[in-house]
Amino acid sequence: QVQVQQWGAGLLKPSETLSLNCAVYGRSFNDYYWSWIRQPPGKGLEWIGEVNHSGYTNYNPSLKSRVTISVDTSKNQFSLTLNSVTAADTAVYYCARKGMSFDYWGQGTLVTVSS
């Protein structure tokens, strides 16, 4: 069975950098792409980007200039960095495995951007 656990800072000031991490427990980390998805309070879901075990990434063009997703295969972990955050980046951030679709999800981390 696959378990996905995430962690990171939940309160940021405008212009700071968001940093979240996701650890994957179970086999086959190298066989999938791993994504970050966010959901502003009371709103819908937005895909941020993905990474595979080789470090190959794809990003949502709307966020590409501010996003970096990296991978550490020695720990079966991947990370999200989002620069220059504003209040519009306040959301629950999820990490997820991309199989046929997003089939395993982390528990979510609420990140609030406020001065």
Partner 1 sequence: QSVLTQPPSVSGAPGQRVTISCTGSSSNIGGGYDVHWFQQLPGTAPKLLIYANNNRPSGVPDRFSGSKSGTSLSLAITGLQAEDEADYYCQSYDSSLNSYVFGTGTKVTVL
Q: What is the C-alpha radius of gyration for the chain, rounded to an integer number of angstroms?
A: 13
Q: How far is the CB of 37 from partner 1 (least distance, A)?
A: 8
Residue from 47, 57, 90, 112 that binds partner 1 (CB under 8 A)?
47
Phi, psi of 30, deg, nearest 5: -75, -10
Which of these ranges, 21-29, 44-52, 65-73, 82-90, lies near partner 1 under the rule CB under 8 A? 44-52
Residue from 46, 53, 57, 112 that binds partner 1 (CB under 8 A)?
46
Choose between 16 and 104: whose C-beta lies nearer to partner 1.
Answer: 104
Residue from 21, 35, 52, 79 that binds partner 1 (CB under 8 A)?
35
Which of these ranges, 11-19, 21-29, 78-86, 99-107, lies near partner 1 under the rule CB under 8 A? 99-107
Tokens of 113: 């951007």
Residues 6+ apart with CB under 8 A from 52: 30, 32, 33, 34, 71
Number of CB atoms found within 10 A of residue 38's CB: 24
